[in-house]
Amino acid sequence: MRQDKPDLVVLDVMMSSVLDGLSVCREMRMESDLKDIPVIMVSSIITGPHASMFPTDEYIPIDTWISKPMDPDDLLKKVERLIGAGSS
């Protein structure tokens, strides 16, 4: 990610790796070369059966949320708002 810095990162709260999306985002925010990259967090936790797992008492350093199932138009609008249409 440092070599080819993305314009935007989309993370899922519950990923199938050692880290979860919230941890990845927190680590990005601590890195000077990654801290300003916009982050969209995707999750079904907010309204799903795992809602009790959602961290409500701590700062979550993201730019916006998208609930699953994702609405493609909503995703596109949020991407355009965060990085602008036609940015590269």
Domains of the chain (ranges; CATH) run: 9-82 (3.40.50.2300)
Give residue 81's pLDDT band: very low, low, confident or very high (50, 70, 90). very high
pTM exceeds 0.85: no
For every residue of 29-81, which 3-state class applies, written as one string?
A: HHCCCCCCCCEEEEECCCCCCCHHHCCCCCCCCCCEEEECCCCHHHHHHHHHH
- What is the mean pLDDT of the segment spanning 48-63? 63
Tell how strand 39-43 and strand 9-12 pair up: parallel
The pLDDT, as a whole number, for residue 18 is 80
Q: What are the pLDDT digits (tens) for 12-41?
A: 887 777 878 888 888 999 999 999 999 998
The more confidently predicted of residues 86 and 25 is 25
**2: exposed, middle or buried (Cβ count in 10 Å: 0-12, 13-18, 19+):** exposed
The pLDDT, as a whole number, for residue 62 is 84
